[in-house]
Amino acid sequence: MKTTLRGLGVSHGVAIGQVRHMGTAVLEPPAKQIPAGDAKREQGRARQAVDAVAADLNARGHLAGGEAQHVLEAQALMAQDPELMADVERRIAVGSTAERAVYDAFASYRALLAGAGEYLAGRVADLDDVRNRIVARLLGVPMPGVPDSDEPYVLIARDLAPADTALLDPGLVLGFVTEEGGPTSHSAILARALGVPAVVALPGACELGEETVIAVDGSTGEVFVEPDGEERAELARMAAERRTAMEAVSGPGATSDGHKVPLLANIGGPVDVPAAVAAGAEGIGLFRTEFLFLEDSSRAPSEAKQVEVYRQVLEAFPERRVVVRVLDAGADKPLDFLTPSDEPNPALGVRGLRALLDHPEVLRTQLTALSKAAEGLPVYLEVMAPMVADRSDARAFAQACREAGLKAKFGVMVEVPSAALRARSVLQEVEFLSLGTNDLAQYTFAADRQVGAVSRLQDPWQPALLDLVAVAAEAARAEGKGCGVCGEAAADPLLACALTGLGVTSLSMGAASIPYVRAALAKYTLAQCERAAAAARAADGADEARAAAQGVLSGE
């Protein structure tokens, strides 16, 4: 290859095509004064633009469905934030144009987020996208976004806003590469859902020239610049080999010597169910319920509405497991009726189960709705709580489940290091653990999952993270209970083998990744997976851990 660049591969597959760059951001509006008599008109323009952008984001979410929908609905709420709108109107009242007032108000809020700790700093890209859309509408210029093209291409961007990623056309966008982002960023998660090869956190990606031909390997993270015919053929051969290996294996997940590893799907709502069924998911390992609550941040959905939606999902998986996570609000998913608005660092504050225990009626309604939704269905319902820190949290959740009359297994998410370290204590109260490796990495390394600058610490191959997985899995084995992984780590075929070797009992991922993981597991024995896991844990960094596991499994 003439030039080989390396970032983080976050969505499997190979794409070869010409580079097209994302539309540039909106230019800064001029700072000019308006007559006092124009203030009301300008305030009206600002409100109309904000409402139009929020409506567009909600519409895009409705079209995209699934994971994308609740991400875009959260952006729409951001656009209509009442404090931001009040600031815009104040600036217009003292002479700013609508577009300049929006630009300056968002800049002020942006500075607050950037200085509010790593977790909220990662939301700056989403905020910038909302600002650009509002300002573009006010200026009457095209929205920044995906380029127009009649020919398929590889999209290059500094970062991709959820609104752009959600509606990418896989028929035109062969793959994408970004300079920023991480393995668990919104763009990475949505890329996997779309089945589009993607590489993120690639230094210098935006310097690639327009129409340059590149090859993107979303499995390895490699980007090859101007590959010749022989090199393209080799990449195509490798991709075909992966597809053949994937198609040759079907049925339940298992190692080559018959050790069963159920492969489950992560979903964001009923719209994701068909893809999970088509991929051969053995059930649902993570049913995120936030999408229901983000439709109206001022109040919780009714019990009847919840029953209706939950039952749609449960009916699709007869005689199989469906693991539902109760509402995980707070941090980047604030809800007016539930979460505090004045926390200095919401990621470390009242989120997840903590918020629900402060509002027991919300939790009680959700648990009751789940109980009613499962009535009469031959499904194995399991319910789990997010952001559990210790046995006291687990006990409180288990008690709430019993009081709601829930006939289901109840468990907890392990996203906080304390829950992993004290997993055996936690398991005295509940029946299973589910490791959310995205947040577990974030809290273990103090590294926001949306910030490209710290993406190496979000790499799930980090040996310290594997140590925590091993501790939790060993505790579950000692108690005779299950310990699954439902974070994005499970979607990496090689890492799935290592996780199996660590003692994880099930793996849950985006539906598009299930065939890849099934094929990888079928190549190796449990003993090989265990040796790969041990080699990875003995390494000093993520790259070394990945290489060590690969070396064991390839017989090197």
Nearest to 281 by CA among 46, 508, 469, 22: 508
Nearest to 368 by CA among 295, 268, 320, 300: 300
Q: By the 8 A CB rule, do 533 and 466 touch?
A: yes
414: which residues sit within 8 A by CB, 6+ positions away? 388, 420, 423, 426, 433, 434, 435, 436, 440, 468, 472
Q: By the 8 A CB rule, do 164 and 154 touch?
A: no
Round the CA-based radius of gyration of the chain to a whole number and report it.
24
Q: What is the rounded CA–CA span in Å between residue 124 and residue 453? A: 13
- Widest Cα–Cα separation across the chain: 79
Put the strands of the sheet holding 222-225 in their side by side order.
3-6, 222-225, 213-217, 14-21, 153-157, 173-178, 198-200, 8-11
Q: What is the rounded CA–CA span in Å between residue 162 and residue 264? A: 25
Q: What is the rounded CA–CA span in Å between residue 172 and residue 148? A: 10
- Separation of CA 261 from chain center: 23
Q: By the 8 A CB rule, do 466 and 415 touch?
A: no
Active site residues: 186, 486
Q: What is the rounded CA–CA span in Å between residue 378 and residue 376? A: 7
39: which residues sit within 8 A by CB, 6+ positions away? 92, 93, 95
